[in-house]
Amino acid sequence: MNEELEGLIQRWPLVKHISLPPDSIILVVGSYTGLGMELLNEMFSPSRIIGFDPQIWALDEATSRLQARNYHNFTLFNFGLGFENATYPMGEWHTDACSFINVGEGSRQQGTGSIRDANEALRILKLPSIDLMVMNIEGFEFTLLPYLKATGWIDKIDRLAVQWHLGLGDEPKSYDDIADCIDRLEEYGMRLEYDERPAWTLSVR
For 162-175, write each residue's pLDDT tens digit: 999 999 988 899 99
For the domain that residue 167 is a member of, what is the CATH number?
A: 3.40.50.150
Judge whether 14 lies within some domain: no
Report how far residue 172's alpha carbon sits from residue 96's, in angstroms, rounded to the nearest whole number. Answer: 19
In a domain, 111, yes or no: yes
Instruction: Please give the pLDDT value at position 89.
Output: 94
Residue 66's domain comprises 3-7+22-204
Q: Is the pLDDT of residue 108 over 90?
A: no
CA 96 and chain centroid, separation: 12
Question: Is the distance from CB of 5 to CB of 39 less than 8 angstroms?
Answer: yes
Check whether 110 has a pLDDT greater than 80. Answer: yes
Overall number of domains in the chain: 1
pLDDT in tens, 17-38: 999 999 999 999 999 999 999 9
- Least Cα distance to 87 among 113, 63, 65, 105 occurs for 113
Q: What confidence tier does 145 reach under pLDDT thresholds 50, 70, 90? A: very high
Q: Give the C-alpha separation, 26 to 111, whole Å.
A: 28
| Residue 78 belongs to some domain of the structure | yes
Rounded to whole angstroms, the Cα distance separating 103 from 109 reads 9
pLDDT score recorded for residue 189:
96
Q: Say if 15 falls within a structural domain.
A: no
